[in-house]
């Protein structure tokens, strides 16, 4: 067994370029998996980080499975090559359920290791990873009826990862709400939601209990006129600089403690503005599995 001095990073499908531009010391790339000679790096576009990767050679399927089982129970395979051989190794590992997650859900306590095959007799693996989900992906039990768009999955993921959800009667402000995917999530939690957008909500969303729709510019909703909010949500398409200016009004007012906002980019990602968001104490920025060319900023207190 040979340990790699460094870390490995798994890019979301289609965002290899964004991740590679963030990383220093890349020594190898295997499809979406980047191996580096650096210690842990901040990587917004990493779907999963392999903190302690090692390379190991084996002669048989049983030897490979035993090697992984002797380290820990739970392992997720990242499909790269030698798929048939990898499938045989997987059958000899303890069963890990791939059943879709039902929202709301708590983050699993058990660690999830990651592994793949570099060739027929060589594996690379890491018992310690940044995500307790297989390959960093939360696969939800989707709702085919109710939400007017698939954007609800993005908010579900953010709420699971931040470990809390709005409760009954919580006052929520949502800007950029149309057509109402996020609104549907919040209404299902029995929150009171002020939704603001220039475009309308879907009629079935407007009719949900607790939904209060206002046509207009969400950035016109400010602390001095609307008072305390328990949560603020934004999935509005705008320059992140404009969103930050508005968010700082609420942060400085002390009238809201919980925020989930999408940072949408036109062209290349501006990491300068991302770091400005991170200057807000207690916040984090990450690429969700259901994000596109965008990142999500989360602050919960």
Q: Which of 190, 147, 151, 191 is nearest to 172 (CA)?
A: 191
| Whole-number average pLDDT of the chain | 96
User: Which is nearest to 25 in space by CA: 11, 36, 14, 33?
Assistant: 36
The pLDDT of residue 175 is above 80 = yes
**pLDDT by residue (tens digit) across 288-298?**
999 999 999 99
Whether 1 has a pLDDT exceeding 60, the answer reads no
How much is the pLDDT for 3?
Answer: 58
**Whole-number pLDDT of residue 192:** 98
pLDDT, tens digit, for every residue of 47-66?
Answer: 999 999 999 999 999 999 99
| pLDDT at residue 154 greater than cutoff 70 | yes
CA–CA separation, 127 and 170 (whole Å) = 39
**Residues in contact with 14: Cβ distance below 8 Å, sequence separation at least 6, in sequence order:** none
Q: In the prediction, which pLDDT does 215 show? A: 97
Burial 276-301 (b: 16+ CB within 10 A, else e): ebeeeeebebbbbbbbeebbbbbbbe
- Contact assessment for residue 253 and residue 233, using Cβ atoms and an 8 Å cutoff: no
Quote the percentage of the chain above a pLDDT of 70.
98
Q: How confident is the model over 212-265, as pLDDT tens digits?
A: 999 999 999 999 999 999 999 999 999 999 999 999 999 999 999 999 999 998
Residue 130 CA to its chain's centroid (Å):
11
């Amino acid at each position: 067994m040979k340990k790699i001095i460094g870390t490995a990073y798994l890019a979301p499908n289609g965002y290899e370029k964004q991740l590679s531009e963030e990383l220093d010391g890349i020594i190898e790339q295997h499809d979406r998996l980047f191996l580096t000679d650096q210690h842990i790096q901040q990587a917004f576009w990493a779907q999963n980080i392999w903190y302690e990767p090692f390379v190991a050679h084996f002669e048989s399927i049983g030897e490979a499975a035993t090697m992984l089982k002797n380290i820990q129970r739970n392992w997720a395979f990242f499909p790269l090559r030698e798929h048939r051989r990898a499938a045989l190794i997987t059958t000899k590992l303890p069963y890990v359920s791939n059943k879709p997650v039902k929202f709301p859900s708590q983050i699993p306590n058990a660690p999830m290791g990651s592994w793949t095959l570099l060739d027929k007799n060589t594996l690379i693996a890491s018992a310690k990873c940044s995500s307790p989900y297989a390959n960093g992906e939360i696969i939800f039990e989707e709702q085919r009826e109710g939400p007017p768009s698939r954007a609800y999955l993005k908010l579900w993921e953010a709420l699971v990862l931040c470990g809390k959800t709005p409760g009954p009667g919580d006052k929520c402000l949502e800007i950029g709400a149309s057509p109402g995917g996020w609104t549907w999530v919040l209404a299902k939690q029995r929150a009171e939601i002020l939704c603001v957008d220039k475009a309308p909500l879907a009629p079935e969303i407007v009719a949900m209990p607790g939904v209060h729709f206002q046509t207009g510019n969400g950035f016109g909703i400010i602390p001095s006129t609307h008072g305390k909010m328990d949560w603020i949500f934004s999935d509005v398409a705008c320059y992140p600089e404009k969103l930050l200016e508005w968010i700082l009004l609420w942060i400085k007012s002390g009238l809201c403690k919980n925020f989930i906002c999408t940072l949408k980019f036109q062209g290349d990602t501006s990491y300068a503005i991302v770091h400005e968001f991170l200057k807000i104490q207690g916040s984090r920025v990450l690429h969700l599995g259901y994000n596109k060319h965008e990142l999500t900023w989360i602050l919960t207190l």
